[in-house]
Amino acid sequence: MRKILVTLKRVVDYNVRVRVKPDGSGMAVEGLKMSINPFDEIALEEALRMRERGDAGEVVAVTIGGDESQQQLRTGLAMGADRALLAKCEGELQPLTVAGILLEVARREEPDIVIMGKQAIDDDCNQAGQMLAALWGRPQATFASEVQLDGGSARVTREVDAGLESIEVQLPAVITTDLRLNEPRYIKLPDIMKARRKPLEILSVDELGLAAAPSLQPLGYEPPEQRQKGVLVEDVAALVGRLRERGLVN
């Protein structure tokens, strides 16, 4: 039976509003509610549905971060993952470093499919999945809105600018999920209790033989400019006149 590896990233909950630190050195996230990246929740839900259909035998959740990231792994186990793995690493990680760590995890676990959220809501980079596929030398199917497994291949419907695109990739492969792929399940209290007994393995990045030094150094952060107050016009002619004054139309 297939093994599916699902990545879960710890991020500030999407319902929480974050602010730039007064000194511009980063985002003020201390004390804020942390959750699984929403796109990663969708990835885990899809893996669980594959297992429930009999298309997979084991679902392994993996994350990279400090000890606090065990909270998100336990949530993933409560959703239904069979076991979890924490690649312990402190500090901010950039996509290429994340892909390198996940590559070593993939070599260790030998999954048939790696399912990831298409991007994380904290940095919106949308790079780690593609980089992992390139480093791993496996096909990729990004922005998936539908996934169907057939033997040793997967048919994936992708959301692209022009509409929908269907492709077929040979397994093992990397699949990244879009919002419309599914709706993650609600976690019940008995499942939370069961998750405490499921295995959660901790590896250090040093054990994987990788250096987590960043290749890019942020120089500063600043909030976006406040939007200017709108102007009411009486009719279309007045609107066109205003646009001409600003050089937006001829």
How far is residue 164's CA from residue 210's CA, in Å, rounded to a whole number?
38
Q: Which domain holds residue 35?
A: 3-216
**Does 189 fall in a domain?**
yes
Q: Which of 54-58, 89-93, 227-231 has the highest mean pLDDT?
A: 54-58
**Does 169 fall in a domain?**
yes
**Does 225 fall in a domain?**
no
Tokens matching residue 7 = 């990545």
Short-list 117, 137, 138, 130, CA closest to 47: 117
**Does 149 fall in a domain?**
yes
Tokens matching residue 92 = 């901010």
**Does 250 fall in a domain?**
no
Q: For residue range 15-62, what is the model confidence (pLDDT) as tens digits? A: 888 888 888 877 888 888 999 999 999 999 999 999 999 999 999 999
- Can you give the three-state secondary structure of the chain, one letter per residue? CCEEEEECCEEECCCCCCEECCCCCCEECCCCCEEECHHHHHHHHHHHHHHHCCCCCEEEEEEEECHHHHHHHHHHHHHCCCEEEEEECCCCCCHHHHHHHHHHHHHHHCCCEEEEECCCCCCCCCCHHHHHHHHHCCCEEEEEEEEEEECCEEEEEEEECCEEEEEEEECCEEEEECHHHCCCCCCCHHHHHHHCCCCEEEEECCCCCCCCCCCCCCCCCCCCCCCCCCCCCCCHHHHHHHHHHCCCCC
229 phi, psi to nearest 5 deg: -65, 140
Predicted pLDDT of residue 229 = 82
Tokens matching residue 77 = 């186990």
**Does 246 fall in a domain?**
no
Q: Would the pLDDT of 214 be above 70? A: no
pTM for the full predicted model: 0.85
Of 52-66, 145-159, 198-212, the poorest mean pLDDT is in: 198-212
Q: How many domains does the structure of the chain reveal?
A: 1
Predicted pLDDT of residue 211 = 62
Amino acid at 90: E
**Does 222 fall in a domain?**
no
Predicted pLDDT of residue 212 = 58
Q: Which residue has the higher pLDDT, 231 or 87?
A: 87
How far is residue 151's CA from residue 50's CA, in Å, rounded to a whole number?
13
- Residue 58 near residue 22, CB atoms below 8 Å: no
Confidence of residue 79 (pLDDT cuts 50, 70, 90): very high
- When pLDDT is averaged across residues 201-206 and rounded to a whole number, the result is 86
**Does 228 fall in a domain?**
no
Q: Would the pLDDT of 163 be above 90? A: no
Here the CATH number for the domain that contains residue 160 is 3.40.50.620
How far is residue 188's CA from residue 190's CA, in Å, rounded to a whole number?
6
